[in-house]
Structure 1
Amino acid sequence: MSSLDSPNPSFAIRETTPTGTAPSTFLRSISTKEPSFSTFPYSPPRFSSPISLHTSPLSSPRHPFNPTAAAGSSSPETSSSYRCISSVLKKDGQILCIAVGNGFIYTGSDSNVIRIWKQPEFTECGRLKAKTSMVVAMEVSHDRVYAAYGDGKIRVWRSTWDSGVKHVKLATIPKTGGAVRNLIVGKDKMMKHMGPITSIAINVSDDTLYSASLDKTIKVWRIRDSKCIETIQAHSEPINALVVADDGVLYSASDDATVRVWRRYFYSENQLHTLILTLTAKYSPVKTLTLTLDDGLLYGGCTDGYIHYWHKGWFSSQLQYGGALQGHTHAVMCLASVANYVISGSADSTSRVWAREQDGRHTMLAVLVGHRGPIRCAIAFLGRFGEETEDEYCTICTGSLDGVLKMWRVTRPKSSCGHLNKTNGHEYFELQEG
C-alpha cells in the first residue's frame, strides 16, 4: 500500500523504435516519493445502486489481440483473445488488495470490510470486519487469512467449514498492550511499525510472518505467539513490497530503487536475517514484486512503467538480470504470476498480460482496458475454473482505485503455449552485495 497523500512523482513515457524494440536508453523517473492519485485524470463511477453495480459483460464479444514484439519479446504465431467476464462496484471506496485461497477470493479496500467471493460463481458469500478501516495488504495461507490495516496492525482469521463456511478471528499482531509493556522495559521489538504497513509475506514452514512499512523496516513475527522476533533496518527509503520464496529467501523492494535479498540464519541469536544481495532497478523506485511458481524468475515493477526481471541460479546469491518489459506509461503498481503468465497493473489504468516463451523471451498477450482509475492489485489463476478445453485460459481479477473489481479471461491456443525452462541456457554468475 502506497501513501496516497504525498506529491506526484514524474512518470516517464517511453518511445519504441519502428521494430518494436526498446530504445538504447531508458527514460526513467528517479523520484523516490510515493505517487498521489488524488488528481489522476479519471472520472470515478457513480454509485447508482444501494448495494452494488453489476455490469458483467457476459455477452460481450471476445477481443482478439495481436501483439507486436516488445522489448525482449517475440511475436507469437497465433493470437490470444480476452474479455471481461464480471465487473462489480461496491460502496467500499478504493480497492487496495486481493488474495486468493481455499476456493475464495478476498478483497480489501479503504473501508473496514474484507469481502469474500466464492469461486467459480464469483458471488459474494461473506465479510470480515474490523474496528479500523483501510485493508492495505492480505495473504492467505492454508486456512488462515492475514490482513494488514491502516492502524499498523495485522488481523488473523481461520477458515472453518462447520455448518458452512465461517471465519473465526484468531489474533491481532502485535498483541494489544504489547507495545506499552515493551516501551516500559526499554525494548522495542514488540512495537508496531512507526509508519503504515505496505506489504506482508508468509513463510509457513518457518512459522514466520513478515511485514514491511514506509518506516523503512521489515518486522519478523513468530506466528504461533504473535511475537516480533526481529526488526530489520532494510532500506534507506520506504519499503513497498515483500515476497518470500519456497526456500525461505526473502525479497524486499523499495523506493531506493533496489531489491534486496535476505536469508535467515538460525545459528545467530541477535541477527537472524542477513543481506546477501542487492539488485538495482535502473534508478527507479520499485513498487511491487512477484516470483514465478518455481521461484526461477523474480519480477519487479517500477514507477517508470518498466518491469525488470532476474533469472535465479542454483543458489540464492545467483541472480542474473534478464531484461525489462515495457508497455505501461505510468507506475506499475501490482504484479501477479501463474504458470507462464505475468500480469501487471498500472497507474495508467490498464493491465497487461505477458507470456514467457520456451526461449525465455516474453510476449505481450493482451492489454486489459476498462478501469477508470489506477489498478492497485491483481491475482491470476489458470483454467476456466478447472475445465479441460482445447485452449488455455488465464483468469485474472483486478482491483482499482476507482472502486471496481473486474474479472477477465485471457484465452490462448494450447499449441502456442510454451513452458519455461528454468535455466533457459543462461550462464549464472554470483553478484556481489551492493
Structure 2
Amino acid sequence: MEMTSKFDPPDSSITTSLAAIRTHPQNDHSQFSRSISHKEPSFSEASSCTPPRLSSTSLTNPRLYVSQPSTPRLHSFTSPSKQDDLHTIYRCISSVLKKDGAILSVAASNGLVYTGSQSNVIRIWKLPEFTECGQLKSKACMVVALEVSNDKVYAAYADCKIRVWHRTWEGTIKHVRLATIPRTGGYVRSYITGKDKLMKHAGPITSLAINVSDDILYSASVDKTVKVWRISNLKCIETIHAHQEPINAIVVADDGVLFTASDDASIKVWRRNFCSGDRPHSLTVTLPAKYSPVKALTLASDGGVLYGGCSDGYVHYWLKGWFSGQLQYGGALQGHTHTVMCLANVGNYVVSGSADSSCRVWVRDPQDGQHRCLAALQGHRGPIRCIAAFLGRNSSANHEEVEDGCTICTGSLDGVLKVWRVKCTSSNARGTMQSNCEYFDLA
C-alpha cells in the first residue's frame, strides 16, 4: 500500500476526454459529469485532517485529498423509523490508496473486485482478505466503466473503446486479452436515421450493461446514444438515439428491458422488437425525474423497483406493477446533500454514493415496501464515484446470507478505495449489541 498526503490533479489534456466530464457553461475548467449540480462540494487547501466543507460552488480545479483509513472502532446506527427493533453496526475494514488518481469504476464477481482509475491499470483484489492479486493493463487510460459476466471482463476507456478479457481459474487466476471494441473501420446502420455510422461512440462512454440471455452488451455515451453489441462476435448491431442530452447510466433487467438515464431529467424504458429483422429497441415509456438530471441507476434484486440517483441529492424510485408491469413513482430517499453519483443494489439493500463524500445504505422492507436508512458511511475526502455491493463477506455469497449483512466497496475521486462491512441486527435479540463490543468478527 502506498500512502501520500495528497497527489496532483490529473492532466487536464487527459481529463477532458473522460466519460464523466463536462464543461461548466461559465468557465473552461473540466468537471466530472456525475458530480455536476447546484449542490457540489468544493475542495480547497486545508491544513487539518477534517473533511472539506460543503459549498454551493462547483468542482473547479479540485484538489483531491488522501482519505485516512477509518477507525476500526465499531459504529452503530439506529433506524429512525423503527428505533425499537433495528440496529446497524458497520465499520471500514480496508482503506487503500494507490498512485493511480481518481477511482472511476468498480465491479465485483466470484470473490474478486476490479477497480479502474485514471491510469491505464485495472487492479484486481481478492476477497475476503482484500489483497491485490493482479492487474490488467492497456495503452489507454481512464477506465470509466467496468462489467464482469461469465468470466469476461469488459472495460470502457476514455478513448471511447471497450477492452475485453477472459478470466480462467486453472490453478491461479489468469486474464487473457480477447479484443478491443470496436475494431477499426467498422460501420453500423442507425435504425432511426437510416444512415451508416461509425461503430465507435462519438463521445466518451459513461456506462455498460450486459444482457446475458440475449448475448448483448450495451454501452451508453455522452454522445446521447446507446450502442448494442453482440457478445459472440463483438459487432455493433444497433445504435439507439435514446436522449436529447448525454446519457449517464444504463441498466438492463432480467427480462431484457433496458433503462437509460440522462441529463435531460428523464429515464427511458426500451424493449426489443423480436418481430423485426434487425431487432431494434423501441421506446415504451419515459419516466420524468422531477426536473433533475439522473446520474445513476440500479434495479432491485427482484426487478420490482427502479432507483435513480439525481443531481438534487435524492434517490427517486419507481415501483413495478406485478400484473400490469407498468412503473409508478414511489417516492424519494432523502439524506444526501449533493449529487448522487452511483448506486448499487444487493438483496434488500440499496447503496448510494454521493458528491457529498458519503455513502448511505438503505434497506427495503419486502412486506410493506418502505425504505429505511441503515447507515451513513463517511471517511472519503472526495466525491464517491463508484460502488459495488454484495451479500456476506464474499462477492460469490448467496442470498441465504442476507442476515449477515453486506460488504460495500466505494471508490472516490480522492483516489482511495474503501471496503465496508454493514450488519443489520435486532436490538431485541439476546446478546446483540453488547455495550462493550468494539468489533464484529470478520473471519
Structure 2 residue 280 is matched with structure 1 residue 272: yes
- What TM-score, normalized by structure 2, do the two folds share? 0.80
Residues 275 and 369 (structure 1), Cα distance of their counterparts in 2 relative to 1, 3 Å cut: same
Structure 2 residue 419 is matched with structure 1 residue 401: no
Assess if the C-alpha contact under 8 Å between 1:189 and 1:230 holds in 2: no
**Partner residue in 1 for 2:172:** 164
Q: SS of the counterpart of 1:125?
A: strand
**Partner residue in 1 for 2:109:** 101
Q: SS of the counterpart of 2:404?
A: strand
Assess if the C-alpha contact under 8 Å between 2:380 and 2:412 holds in 1: yes
Cα deviation code 1:214-234 (max 9, x no counterpart): 011111111111111111110
Q: List aligned pairs for 1:30-429, cutoff 5 A.
A: 37-39=59-61, 44-45=65-66, 60-69=72-81, 75=83, 77-178=85-186, 188-269=196-277, 272-314=280-322, 317-357=325-365, 358-385=367-394, 392-413=404-425
Counterpart CA distance in 2 for 1:231 and 1:390 is: 39
Assess if the C-alpha contact under 8 Å between 1:110 and 1:135 holds in 2: yes
Cα deviation code 1:235-264 (max 9, x no counterpart): 011000000000000000000110000000
Unaligned runs of 5+ in 1: 14-34, 47-54, 418-434
Assess if the C-alpha contact under 8 Å between 1:249 and 1:316 holds in 2: no
**Aligned-pair CA distance for 1:178:** 2.3
**Partner residue in 2 for 1:21:** none
Q: SS of the counterpart of 1:262?
A: strand
Q: SS of the counterpart of 1:205?
A: coil
User: AA paired with 2:419?
Assistant: M
Counterpart CA distance in 1 for 2:178 and 2:346 is: 30
Residues 250 and 391 (structure 1), Cα distance of their counterparts in 2 relative to 1, 3 Å cut: closer
User: AA paired with 1:64?
Assistant: S
User: AA paired with 1:251?
Assistant: F
User: AA paired with 2:272?
Assistant: R
Counterpart CA distance in 2 for 1:197 and 1:144 is: 19
Q: Percent of aligned positions with the same letter in both sequences? A: 64
Assess if the C-alpha contact under 8 Å between 1:151 and 1:196 holds in 2: yes
Counterpart CA distance in 1 for 2:339 and 2:204 is: 20
Counterpart CA distance in 1 for 2:40 and 2:66 is: 27
Assess if the C-alpha contact under 8 Å between 1:261 and 1:278 holds in 2: yes
Counterpart CA distance in 1 for 2:140 and 2:38 is: 33
Assess if the C-alpha contact under 8 Å between 1:189 and 1:229 holds in 2: no
Report the RMSD for the aligned CA atoms in angstroms.
2.7
Residues 43 and 264 (structure 1), Cα distance of their counterparts in 2 relative to 1, 3 Å cut: closer
Q: SS of the counterpart of 1:248?
A: coil
Assess if the C-alpha contact under 8 Å between 1:3 and 1:36 holds in 2: no
Counterpart CA distance in 2 for 1:195 and 1:294 is: 33
Q: SS of the counterpart of 2:119?
A: coil
**Partner residue in 2 for 1:10:** 38
Cα deviation code 1:268-304 (max 9, x no counterpart): 1356100001101100000000001111111000000
Q: SS of the counterpart of 2:301?
A: coil
Counterpart CA distance in 1 for 2:237 and 2:288 is: 28
Cα deviation code 1:185-208 (max 9, x no counterpart): x96345211111000101111111
Counterpart CA distance in 1 for 2:209 and 2:402 is: 36
User: AA paired with 1:377?
Assistant: C
Residues 176 and 75 (structure 1), Cα distance of their counterparts in 2 relative to 1, 3 Å cut: farther
- What TM-score, normalized by structure 1, do the two folds share? 0.81
Assess if the C-alpha contact under 8 Å between 2:127 and 2:393 holds in 1: no
User: AA paired with 1:362?
Assistant: H
Q: SS of the counterpart of 2:213?
A: helix
Assess if the C-alpha contact under 8 Å between 2:97 and 2:415 holds in 1: yes
**Aligned-pair CA distance for 1:266:** 1.6
Unaligned runs of 5+ in 2: 1-18, 26-35, 42-56, 430-443
